[in-house]
Amino acid sequence: MTAAFDAFFMRMALREAEKAAADGEVPLGSVVVAPAVLEPAHDGHPPVFDCNPSMARILGRAHNMTEGLSDATAHAEMLALSSAFQTRGDWRLSGARLYVTKEPCPMCAGAIVLARLDAVVWGVSDPKRGGGTTFGIFDHPGINHHPAIVTGVLEDDAKALLQDFFRSRRAD
């Protein structure tokens, strides 16, 4: 995918994160997208995807709802994945990309691997609890699926949203 394609859907994830902040939740948002296929995989070649965001299908989107649902698993990624499973009618999300404003935690990273997503795109890395950078889940040799990873997409915007949220919480 192109940088413009990734930025388009990261902006959508940022809007979801803003909804979380408005609800008093940690501002994380996520979107699951299936790019349009121009040419299916054949003769050992991977599929060719359309890089036009308007041709992609949004399978699911969500924001953090752990406080509102009193559920430790109600992370933006988990909720967006659940929506995508329902939309697709399958637990396999091959061909899809997950956009999230902050690097997925180990729980979400595990769900991403199990869902067989093609790629995970995030804004801000999480050096303390990141499922990829800290725990190495996405590239662990013992797993059977390794999604492509794209980091730093609209990182400054995602970071500012988190910093503003926690700054305001400390001020209260």
For residue 77, indicate whether it is catalytic. Answer: yes
Give the list of residues 6+ apart from residue 11 with CB closer than 8 angstroms, or none.
154
Residue 172 confidence class, pLDDT cut points 50, 70, 90: low
What's the predicted TM-score (pTM) here? 0.93
User: Of 16, 25, 77, 103, which residue is the catalytic one?
Assistant: 77
Residue type, 109: A
Q: How many CA atoms lie within 13 A of 101 on its CB side?
A: 30
Contact 79, 108 (CB under 8 A): no
The pLDDT tens digits for 124-168 are: 999 999 999 999 999 999 998 999 999 999 999 999 999 999 988
The pLDDT tens digits for 30-46 are: 999 998 887 887 887 77
Q: What percent of the chain has pLDDT over 90?
A: 80
Kindly state the tokens that stand for 83.
């929506």
